[in-house]
């Protein structure tokens, strides 16, 4: 049995052990944490080994126009996405070691030529300190909650009581946060949020009622949210794009991505070349935060449970859903509790940290999709941004290059069949050649997520 509290504790400790760079300033900045935990059950003992193999923090997502056709920017730096990508790095390294005869604690040879599978007793669990953004964050309000005041109908109205000059920025941050400030306090039921500024000194407090919202908007091309007050504000069960600063993003919400990983696996198209079966998270553990098992079930499981006709190696594999009672010390709610007036505005931490258990450059800190600290120094000379030293090892281009080095390390006789075509060149080519994965995606797309934007080929032609 998995103990959710032990998993949460393990992940918080791993975070604590990381160096300070990129971590939030206590009491002023908050962030979100996600991790992939490898579980190993040994046949010869009752003990279960748990090891964090990848960890990510981050709250930001960059808009469409900043996206690069070179594949060298992280367009989505939500903790969940960072943690998954770090895990892919870790898995590439494990496979690299396996194909070079160095052994692996994860994979063993499968029966198809050039393919690998998980060792008996090994599985992967996903931890997140918070309810994923998007559909799972639309948490129903319980009927028992009293409604002494008319519900607040939008974040903007709430912001209207803020008399500081920072109003716009704050509004953006509110809508950028995963579970906006409102949602983060849902657990206590109707609560008073102290408005900062003069109105606070006057003792005027704001009653917040409908707090079960997400900043993520419905994907373009489908019906929009009804935006009625109370429970009629959002549609449920629909795909949503992540909120980003200013412009719209093309990145889907973390709820949507987790739902997708439960059908296609979290390994992605490239690693599917090497794997006989997709890799699924056995369990998703969420830290202490506003949480609804029903909303999680709807967002991560029900939306895809009817998908059929998947190719061999793929199956609808929903995770077990658990919640821990332990809260991340750098959550938004904890930060608000520890905040002191002299510290200035509470804000989401701009940096994203990735750590994964690989030998080369295990730690990576980025801001705005590039290496941390770079943007500030050379803001005016955009041209430098594409110099390789600034790329994160998690960006598509770097992951692709690690994958290519895995391919070169594989002896020709041990190459999987799907990689035996001479004409593969670009990232797009290698992804398309992953046939079963593409077939599975096709099924998922037409049966469950027809509005999921197809990736833009022009952005994936790098090599
Ligand atoms: C990383 O992996 C190695 C080899 O599997 C292991 O011995 C080590 O404890 C891991 N490090 C951390 C910090 O988990
Ligand atoms: C970044 O944008 C591309 C192109 O729209 C999209 O296909 C991809 O999924 C995005 N990356 C992430 C990590 O969301
Ligand atoms: Zn998210």
pLDDT tens series, the chain, 463 aa: 899 999 999 999 999 999 999 999 999 999 999 999 999 998 887 889 999 999 999 988 876 555 567 777 777 889 999 999 999 999 999 999 999 999 999 999 999 999 999 999 999 999 999 999 999 999 876 544 433 333 333 333 333 333 333 333 443 333 333 333 332 222 222 323 333 333 333 333 333 345 467 888 999 888 889 888 877 888 899 999 987 765 667 889 999 999 999 999 999 999 999 999 999 999 999 999 999 999 999 999 999 999 999 999 999 999 999 999 999 999 999 999 999 988 889 999 988 999 999 999 999 998 765 565 554 444 444 433 333 446 889 989 999 999 999 999 999 999 999 999 888 999 999 999 999 999 999 999 999 999 998 888 888 888 8
80 included as an active-site residue? yes
Paired strand residues for 163: none
Residue 51 beta carbon below 6 angstroms from any ligand 1 atom: yes
For ligand 2, whether the C-beta of 455 sits within 6 Å is yes
Return the ligand 1 atom nearest residue 14 CA.
13
Q: State the distance from the centre of ligand 2 to the C-alpha of 67, rounded, in angstroms.
A: 9
Nearest CA to ligand 1 atom 5: 105
Residue 105, ligand 1, Cβ within 6 A: yes
Q: Which atom of ligand 2 is nearest to the CA of 74?
A: 13
State the Cα–Cα distance between residues 429 and 463, nearest whole angstrom. 9
- Using the atom order of ligand 2, give the atom closest to the CA of residue 251: 14
Ligand 1: does its nearest atom lie under 6 Å from the Cβ of 13? no
In the prediction, which pLDDT does 419 show? 97
Strand, coil or helix: what is 182? helix
Between CA 24 and CA 375 the distance in angstroms is 18
Ligand 1 center to 332 CA (angstroms): 30
Look at ligand 1, atom 9, and give the residue with the nearest C-alpha.
51
Ligand 2 within 6 A of 135 CB? no
- For residue 347, the SS3 value is strand
Among candidate residues 13, 29, 49, 80, the one labeled active-site is 80
- Ligand 2 touching residue 57 (CB < 6 A): no
Contacts of 278 (CB under 8 A, 6+ apart): 264, 265, 267, 272, 313, 314, 315, 317, 437, 440
Q: What phi and psi, each to the nearest 5 degrees, are found at residue 87?
A: -65, -35
Question: What is the Cα 409 distance to its own chain's centre?
Answer: 30
**DSSP classification of residue 383:** G
Closest ligand to residue 456's CA: 2
């Amino acid at each position: 049995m998995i103990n959710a509290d032990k998993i949460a504790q393990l992940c918080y400790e791993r975070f604590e052990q990381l160096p300070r760079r990129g971590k939030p300033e206590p009491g002023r900045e908050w962030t979100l944490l996600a991790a992939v935990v490898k579980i190993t059950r040994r046949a010869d003992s009752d003990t279960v080994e748990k090891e964090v193999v990848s960890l990510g923090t981050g709250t930001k997502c960059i808009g469409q126009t900043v996206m690069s056709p070179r594949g060298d920017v992280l367009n989505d730096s939500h903790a969940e996405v960072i943690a998954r990508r770090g895990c892919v790095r870790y898995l590439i390294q494990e496979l690299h070691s396996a194909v070079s005869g160095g052994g692996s604690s994860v994979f063993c040879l499968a029966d198809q030529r050039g393919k690998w599978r998980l060792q008996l007793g090994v599985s992967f669990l996903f931890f997140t300190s918070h309810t994923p953004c998007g559909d799972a964050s639309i948490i129903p309000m319980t009927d028992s909650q009293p409604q002494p005041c008319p519900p607040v109908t939008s974040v903007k109205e709430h912001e209207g009581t803020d008399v500081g000059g920072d109003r716009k920025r704050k509004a953006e941050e509110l809508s950028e946060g995963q579970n906006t400030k409102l949602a983060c306090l849902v657990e206590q039921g109707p609560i008073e949020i102290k408005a900062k500024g003069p109105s606070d000194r006057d003792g005027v407090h704001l009653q917040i009622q409908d707090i079960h919202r997400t900043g993520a908007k419905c994907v373009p091309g489908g019906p929009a949210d009804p935006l009625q007050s109370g429970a009629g504000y959002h549609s449920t069960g629909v795909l949503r794009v992540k909120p980003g600063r200013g412009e719209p993003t093309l990145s889907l919400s973390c709820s949507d991505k987790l739902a997708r990983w439960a059908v296609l696996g979290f390994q992605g198209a490239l690693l599917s070349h090497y794997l006989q079966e997709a890799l699924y998270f056995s369990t998703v553990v969420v830290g202490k935060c506003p949480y609804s098992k029903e909303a999680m079930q709807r967002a991560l499981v029900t939306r895809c449970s009817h998908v059929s006709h998947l190719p061999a190696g793929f199956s609808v594999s929903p995770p077990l859903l658990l919640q821990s009672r332990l809260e991340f010390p750098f959550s938004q709610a904890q930060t608000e509790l520890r905040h002191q007036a002299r510290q200035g505005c509470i804000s989401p931490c701009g940096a994203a940290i990735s750590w994964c258990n690989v030998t080369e450059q295990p730690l990576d800190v980025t801001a705005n999709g590039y290496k941390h600290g770079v943007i500030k120094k050379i803001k005016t000379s955009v041209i430098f941004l594409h110099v390789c030293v600034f790329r994160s090892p998690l960006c598509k281009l770097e992951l692709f290059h690690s994958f290519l080095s895995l391919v070169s390390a594989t002896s020709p006789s041990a190459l999987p069949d799907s990689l035996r075509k001479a004409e593969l060149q670009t990232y797009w080519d290698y992804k398309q050649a992953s046939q079963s994965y593409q077939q599975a995606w096709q099924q998922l797309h037409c049966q469950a997520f027809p509005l999921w934007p197809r990736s833009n080929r022009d952005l994936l032609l790098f090599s």
